[in-house]
Amino acid sequence: MKIFLTSFLAFTAYILLGADVHVHGRFTVSGGNMPPMVVMHNAEEEMADISAIVKDGAFSIDVPVTAPALYNVRLGRSSYDLMLSPHDKDINIDISIKGDEVTDMQISPSAESEAYKRFYAMMKLNDGKMERHFRQCEGTACEQDLHDLLLDYRDDLNEIRKRYPGTYAADVLCTMRMPTVAADIKNTTSEFRAHYFDSVPFADPSLLATPVYHDMIVNYIDFLIEGTLSSEETFIRGLMAHARVEPKIYNKTALSLFDGLLWHSREKMLAMLIRYYDENEPALNNPVLAAKIHNIRTVMPGNNYKDVAKPDTGGIVRSLKEVVQRSRCTLLLFWSPGCSHCTEEMPHIQAVYDKYHSKGFDIYAYCMDISPQHWRSYLHEHSLPWTNVLAGFPEEGKPTAGNDYAISSTPTLVLIDKNGIILHRFAPKNKLEKYIEDALK
């Protein structure tokens, strides 16, 4: 059993007097195969891991902390976020483990950690309410509804400020997330969007110490963006321009944008970000981002498809090439029976197949699973009529189709024309039929 405490980044601007925080505690272990061990890791590359072996059920580590920093305490399959501050001289953690699973964990009170925990839970709750609003609200009442939500959000943030003065969560994070509430209710949505990033301290590397900034970017991509090409381009270039004042934030912003756009299937915005990267590659000296963009560039719309060849339920190897060559339009479907979104969309995909197959449309469905058990059961139950293949165990030294197509989530629908050119790498459910009809013309 190991504990991994992972700091996202050490603070540099929110500096306090440096101090060692004494983190100690005891394990109560019943069963299990892994010996208890404690490792504390700071994400700054120059910082070495701090570790201690648990002896007679006890552990003790002195952690040098110069400013509040977030650590993720990992205990087997469980985890806990712990914010450490130089004010925290002594943190005690008592852990009960049964069969490699944490059954109980008690942590001594810490204003910094408690403030962050309450802030982050409150932020997630209010962001969830806003997401439902932007996805579901229709009609004239929407501006009033959002206005009320933002007022509640502001009250919750002010309560954190009042209850935990002097903490990073109260002084920095609450300020950063404080929403703009329009005086004129009819302007609530437009002003909230326009001022969403106004209080982000772009010049301060401490911005990266928690996932809050990343979450803000992903939320904007997911449900706040207006959805026009001009607004999407303005958002990407505007955010990157603000972030450019600090190299670490500039690079992290680009990575968060890339991951958010890929995860939420924003095909056109992803192409915009790639163009921005090409224009600013010297300034974005980021090997991780460079590798991600290199991998996805070759499977963006306008490129030739990459072939896939895997066995079907009868053990016969079937290639994507066979399907593309005999069809006027092919859907390469990455999916898994254990993916709830996949099973929800499969009836729609089957209805589209039934409607357009006779006109030259076909599907090559690549199941991302390793084991065939659930895959075979699902195919037997649902009788999916197209070419179905299983990823299986990856071959050593060879990229999988998921790697080749930079798949981050399922289902992912890649539409290919009769000439083998990728038309769309994210074909959303509500536009799939139109895309197919256009390809079949």
Report all structural domains of the chain as residue ranges with CATH numbers, in order of start. Answer: 2-108 (2.60.40), 113-297 (no CATH), 309-440 (3.40.30.10)
Weakest-pLDDT range from 143-147, 151-155, 205-209, 316-320: 205-209
Q: What is the pLDDT of residue 36?
A: 65
Report whether pLDDT(127) > 90: yes
What are 46-59's pLDDT values in tens digits?
A: 455 666 677 787 88
% the chain with pLDDT above 90 = 67
Report whether pLDDT(325) > 50: yes
The two structure tokens encoding residue 419 = 């000439």
Q: 75: pLDDT confidence band, cut at 50, 70 and 90?
A: low
Q: Which residues contact 238 (CB under 8 A, 6 or more apart)?
A: none
Sequence length of the chain is 441
Cβ atoms of residues 114 and 87 within 8 Å: no
Q: 362: pLDDT confidence band, cut at 50, 70 and 90?
A: very high
Report whether pLDDT(163) > 80: yes
The C-alpha atoms of residue 193 and residue 187 are separated, in whole angstroms, by 10
Q: 78: pLDDT confidence band, cut at 50, 70 and 90?
A: low
Mean pLDDT of 97-122: 85
Cβ atoms of residues 63 and 84 within 8 Å: yes
Cα–Cα distance list, 296 to 255, 264, 289, 301, 389 (Å): 14, 15, 11, 10, 23
Weakest-pLDDT range from 161-165, 349-353, 429-433: 429-433
**pTM of this structure:** 0.85
**Spatial CA neighbour of 296 closest among 276, 267, 253:** 267
**Spatial CA neighbour of 8 closest among 145, 168, 157, 192:** 168
Q: 9: pLDDT confidence band, cut at 50, 70 and 90?
A: very low
Report whether pLDDT(11) > 70: no
Q: 29: pLDDT confidence band, cut at 50, 70 and 90?
A: confident
Angle, CA 205 vertex, CA 202 and CA 208 arms, to 5°: 90
Q: Which residues contact 388 (CB under 8 A, 6 or more apart)?
A: 312, 313, 365, 367, 375, 379
Q: 89: pLDDT confidence band, cut at 50, 70 and 90?
A: confident
DSSP state letters, 264-297 = TT-HHHHHHHHHHHHHHTTT---HHHHHHHHHHH
Report whether pLDDT(1) > 50: no
The H-or-E segment that residue 3 falls in is strand 2-7
Burial grade of 302 (CB within 10 A; 0-12, 13-18, 19 or more)? exposed
**Spatial CA neighbour of 293 closest among 270, 324, 313, 309:** 270
Q: What is the pLDDT of residue 6?
A: 40
Please list the alpha-helical segments (H only) found in 298-382: 320-326, 340-356, 373-382
Weakest-pLDDT range from 62-66, 124-128, 210-214, 243-247: 62-66
* Top-confidence residue, 227 or 151: 151
CA trace torsion 346, 348, 353, 356 (10° rounding) = -170
**Spatial CA neighbour of 300 closest among 195, 392, 425, 167:** 425
The C-alpha atoms of residue 340 and residue 274 are separated, in whole angstroms, by 30
Bridge-based pairing state of the strands 361-367 and 329-335: parallel
Give me the phi and psi of 185, to 5 degrees please.
-55, -35
Q: What is the pLDDT of residue 45?
A: 42
The C-alpha atoms of residue 247 and residue 64 are separated, in whole angstroms, by 25
Weakest-pLDDT range from 69-83, 113-127, 283-297: 69-83
The two structure tokens encoding residue 184 = 């004129």
Highest mean pLDDT among 34-38, 93-97, 272-276: 272-276
Report whether pLDDT(13) > 50: no
Q: What is the pLDDT of residue 365?
A: 97
Mean pLDDT of 72-92: 74
Residue with token string 């932007």: 134
Q: What is the pLDDT of residue 5?
A: 44
The two structure tokens encoding residue 168 = 């990073």
% the chain with pLDDT above 70 = 89
Report whether pLDDT(14) > 80: no
Cα–Cα distance list, 186 to 113, 181, 220, 380 (Å): 39, 11, 20, 54
The C-alpha atoms of residue 314 and residue 234 are separated, in whole angstroms, by 51
